[in-house]
């Protein structure tokens, strides 16, 4: 992938289907647990596992490789007020995984040349933006949704911050926070 910029990669995204099993088995994001799940459990016996989200694939139109996999599911922010419980509707990004071959690819030469990390824009940012756009479209046309939620691996927190997700940990009930060891709760308001 040397000298390749994200702006040159043509891709499409679609829901994962049972016939994608061979593509799925060749996918690796570098996270052992996630790779094992994607390669061995996401499609079993001609069924796609949708337990925790509806999985999408992003495919390179030139190589037919899977660039990334993400999954979306209904979720919410629970807000207790006295005896009442409000659920602020949200979409959770349960999985967000980028093929190791497509990680750290700058979108263009401008990004690569910039010495300011805040001015960097990676191809993976563009893929996350596609997931955000799906959520926006749903919220505008199909169903009321106010937030996108996710738990970020600590190593990926900067990636999500760069894409304007915010920390939720400080606003979270302590009891729930104790359930989180290596992941950071983050959110992005939809508007």
Partner 1 sequence: MAYKTKSKERDDTMAAVSKPVNGAFILNSKKAEEFFAQKVNTSSDAIRRYEKRKTKTGDVASKSDK
In the range 77-106, which residues lie near partner 1 by CB under 8 A? 77-81, 87-88, 90, 92-95
146-185 residues in contact with partner 1 (CB under 8 A) are 148-151, 153, 163-164, 166, 168, 170-176, 179-181, 183, 185
By CB under 8 A, name the one of 24, 66, 69, 135 that touches partner 1. Answer: 135
Identify which of residues 37 and 101 has a Cβ nearer to partner 1 in the complex: 37
Q: Which helix (H) or strand (E) holds 167?
A: strand 166-167
Q: Provide the 8-state DSSP code for 18.
A: G
Identify which of residues 25 and 140 has a Cβ nearer to partner 1 in the complex: 140
The footprint of partner 1 on this chain (CB under 8 A) covers a number of residues equal to 80
By CB under 8 A, name the one of 2, 22, 46, 115 that touches partner 1. Answer: 46
CA 47 vs CA 19, 26, 43, 54, 77: distances in Å: 10, 18, 5, 12, 30
Query: CA-to-CA distance for 189 and 191, rounded, in angstroms?
Result: 6
Half-sphere exposure of residue 95, counting CA atoms within 13 Å on the CB side?
Answer: 26
1-20 residues in contact with partner 1 (CB under 8 A) are 6-7, 9-15, 17-18
Query: CA-to-CA distance for 64 and 43, rounded, in angstroms?
Result: 18
115-134 residues in contact with partner 1 (CB under 8 A) are 121, 125-126, 129-130, 132-133
């Amino acid at each position: 992938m040397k000298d390749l910029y994200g702006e040159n990669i043509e891709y499409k995204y679609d829901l994962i289907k049972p016939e994608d099993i061979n593509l799925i088995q060749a996918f690796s994001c570098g996270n052992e647990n996630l790779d094992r799940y994607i390669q061995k459990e996401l499609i079993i016996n001609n069924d796609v596992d949708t337990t925790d989200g509806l999985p999408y694939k992003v495919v390179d139109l030139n190589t037919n490789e899977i660039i990334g996999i993400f999954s979306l599911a209904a979720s919410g922010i629970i807000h207790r007020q006295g005896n009442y419980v409000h659920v602020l509707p949200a979409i959770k990004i349960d999985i967000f995984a980028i093929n190791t071959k497509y990680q750290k690819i700058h979108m263009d030469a401008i990004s690569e040349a910039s010495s300011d990390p805040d001015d960097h824009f990676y191809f993976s940012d563009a893929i996350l933006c596609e997931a955000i756009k799906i959520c926006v479209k749903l919220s505008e046309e199909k169903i009321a949704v106010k937030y996108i939620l996710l738990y970020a691996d600590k190593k990926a927190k900067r990636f999500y911050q760069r894409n304007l997700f915010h920390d939720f940990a400080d606003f979270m009930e302590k009891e729930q926070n104790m359930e989180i060891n290596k992941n950071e709760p983050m959110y992005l308001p939809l508007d």
